[in-house]
A and B are shown apart, each in its own frame.
Chain A
Amino acid sequence: MAASTDILREITEREYRWGFVTPVEEELVPPGLNEDIIRLISQKKGEPEWLTEWRLQAYRRWRTMEEPRWAKVHYPPIDYQAISYFAAPKQKERPKSLDEIDPEIRRTYEKLGIPIREQEILAGVAVDYVFDSVSVATTFRKKLEDLGIIFCSISEAVRDHPELVRRYLGSVVPPGDNYFAALNSAVFSDGSFVYVPKGVRCPMELSTYFRINAAGTGQFERTLIVADEGSYVSYLEGCTAPMRDENQLHAAVVELIALDEAEIKYSTVQNWYPGDKEGRGGIYNFVTKRGLCKGRRSKISWTQVETGSAITWKYPSCILQGDESVGEFYSVALTNNYQQADTGTKMIHIGRRTRSRIISKGIAAGRSQNTYRGLVRVLRGAEGARNYTQCDSMLIGDKCGAHTVPYIEVKNPTARVEHEATTSRISEDQLFYCRARGLSMEDAVALVVNGFCREVMDELPMEFAVEARKLLGISLEGSVG
Chain B
Amino acid sequence: MAVARRIAPAPELAGLFPRIAPQLPGGGALAEVRERAWRRFLEQGLPSVKVEAWKYSRIPQQVNRPMGLARPETPPAAVVREALAGGPHARRLVFANGIAVPSLAHLGGLPQGVRVLPLEEAIARFPERVAEAFARIEDDRGFTDLNTALCRSGAWIELDPGVELTWPLQLLFVAMGGEAAAMTHPRVVVRLGEGAKLHLIESHVSGRDGAVFTNAVLQAEIGEGARLVLERAVMLDADQTLLDEAVCELAAGARLLANGATLGGGLVRGELEVHFRGEGGEALLNGLYVTRGREHVDTAVRVLHHAGGCHSDQFFKGVLDEQAHAVFAGRITVAPGAQRSDAYQVNRNLLLSDEAEVDTRPELEIEADDVRCTHGATVGCLDPNALFYMRARGLAPEVAEAMLTYAFAAEVVERMVDADLARKVRRAILRRVPGGARLETEGLLEEVPA
Contacts and interface: CB of A to CB of B under 8 A. Distances in A.
Interface stretch (B8-16, B85-93, B351-359): B351-359
Given A422-B373, A424-B371, A402 B364 contact: yes
A94 interface: no
A417 B380 contact: yes
Nearest to B350: A413
Interface string B345-367: 00001011110111111111111
B380 A401 contact: no
B371 A413 contact: no
A415 B379 contact: yes
A119 interface: no
Contact of B366 (A397, A402, A411, A414): A402
Nearest to B352: A413
Contacts of A401: 365-367
A303 to B, nearest CB: 23
B445 interface: no
A404 interface: yes
Given A415-B380, A418-B378, A421-B375, A408 B364 contact: no
Interface string B322-351: 000000000000001101000000000101
A448 interface: no
Nearest to A373: B363
Contact of A408 (B339, B352, B353, B361): B361
B71 interface: no
Interface string A387-426: 0000001011111111111111111111111111111111
Given A398-B337, A417-B378, A410 B357 contact: yes
A404 B354 contact: no
B370 A398 contact: yes
Nearest to B321: A413
Contacts of B52: 70
B376 A412 contact: no
A419 B356 contact: no
A403 B371 CA distance: 13
In terms of DSSP, what is the predominant structure of the interface of chain B? strand
Interface in A57-94: 66, 70
Interface in A339-357: none
B124 interface: no
Nearest to A375: B361
B165 interface: no
Nearest to B375: A421
B353 A413 contact: yes
A208 B368 CA distance: 38
B72 to A, nearest CB: 42
B302 to A, nearest CB: 14
A380 interface: yes
A396 B353 contact: no
A408 B336 contact: no
A423 B366 contact: yes
A114 to B, nearest CB: 36
A409 B366 contact: no
A410 B358 contact: yes
Contacts of A416: 378-381
A400 B380 CA distance: 35
Interface in B17-53: 52
Nearest to A400: B369
B58 interface: no
Contacts of B357: 409-411
B115 interface: no
B377 interface: yes
Contacts of A417: 377-380
A7 to B, nearest CB: 24
A421 B360 contact: no
13 contacts: A66-B2, A380-B354, A398-B337, A402-B364, A402-B366, A405-B363, A406-B363, A407-B361, A412-B354, A415-B379, A418-B376, A418-B378, A421-B375
Given A395-B371, A406-B361, 20 more contacts: A380-B354, A393-B366, A395-B368, A398-B369, A401-B366, A402-B366, A406-B362, A408-B361, A410-B379, A412-B351, A413-B352, A413-B354, A416-B379, A416-B380, A418-B378, A419-B378, A421-B364, A423-B364, A423-B374, A425-B369
Interface of B: 2, 52, 56, 336-337, 339, 349, 351-354, 356-381
Q: 8 tightest A-B contacts by CB?
A: A395-B369, A413-B351, A416-B380, A404-B364, A410-B379, A423-B373, A417-B379, A425-B369
